[in-house]
Amino acid sequence: MFDYIKKNVFARCKSEKIAAEVQPLVDRLVQNNAQGESYRRTISHWLNFANPVDAIYSGNRNRLFVEGPRRRVGQLRFPTGGIFTVDGYMAHLNPVETLFLERKIKRAIEAALREFKQSYDLKSHPGQIQTISTNKHADHFINLWLERTTLRAVISEEQIGEPNHGINPRELELLR
């Protein structure tokens, strides 16, 4: 057994490998700030399901929770099952239904991302992942967008991310 004690968190691991994998996760979860809160919120659903949640696909009010572990059958990786909620209705799906609904959602996501990239004329940086590394940069970009938005008082969720919201797509470069 390997004990891990840090910032008043105690976890017992059966192997050094697991302890090494868990340590950075725990470090992030116990941060006493907005980032720590965000990390904790992203896994809070874990306690609501009997099986591990392998993926979540969310709209504003509707969600699909894909349960794991996955089982490989030929080239396909079937989830254990799924739970979806639509307008307050909840249904449990079998592995086949979940796989087909997940594939349909993934195709829609791929199409939306490609359309967004094309609308913004975003350029690729091979081998590099560009991220907004600090809250200050994120705040700067949000404020820049708000300054150029014509509807400053009320911004509906439908307007966020739309190409016609008034910000020059090339200003994404400011954060790189």
CA dihedral 70, 74, 76, 80 (to 10 degrees): -30
State the Cα–Cα distance between residues 67 and 95, nearest whole angstrom. 9
Question: Domain ranges in the chain?
Answer: 1-47, 49-120, 135-175
* Amino acid symbol at 74: G
Total-model pTM: 0.66
For 8-38, write each residue's pLDDT tens digit: 445 577 778 888 888 888 889 989 998 899 9
Sign of the torsion formed by the C-alpha atoms of 23, 29, 31 and 34: positive
- pLDDT digit string, tens, across residues 65-119: 999 999 999 999 999 999 999 998 999 999 999 999 999 999 999 999 999 888 8
Q: What are the pLDDT digits (tens) for 137-175?
A: 777 777 777 776 644 444 555 555 554 444 444 444 443
Rounded distance between C-alpha atoms, residue 89 and residue 101, angstroms: 16
